[in-house]
Amino acid sequence: MSTIDIETARRVAKLARIRVPEENLPQLADQLSGILTFMEQLNEVDVEGIEPMTSVTPMRLKRRQDVVTDGNMQAKILSNAPDAREGFFAVPKVVE
């Protein structure tokens, strides 16, 4: 039985960049615990010597020449931006 405590739930929400109000953390922790407990059935399986699957169909990814194939569409690229200024995506000031 896996248990996610409130502190872990808070940390996961932070990593996922989703603001979760403090009062919702207990329910989130409960639900995550339930899902992780369900996943723990996987521990019953003998996976010794089995490689993790990377591609469901055995295929080599196609290669292509590393050249520009498209471009010059700044207006299209910015057309859905919540905030675009002077040809750029605008975001709040980032001060590190």
> Residue type for 53, please?
M
Q: Under DSSP, is residue 90 helix (H, G, I), strand (E, B) or coil?
A: coil
Element (H, E) at 85: strand 84-85
Q: CA 60 to CA 9: how far, in whole Å?
A: 39
Chain residues binding other proteins by CB under 8 A are 4, 8-9, 12-13, 15-20, 28, 31-32, 34-36, 38-45, 47, 50-57, 59, 61-62, 64, 73, 76-77, 79-83, 89, 91-95
User: How many other C-beta atoms lie within 10 A of the C-beta of residue 46?
Assistant: 6
The minimum distance between CB 59 and other proteins, in angstroms, equals 7
The minimum distance between CB 71 and other proteins, in angstroms, equals 14
The minimum distance between CB 87 and other proteins, in angstroms, equals 14
Taking the least distance from each CB to other proteins, the nearer of 19 and 67 is 19
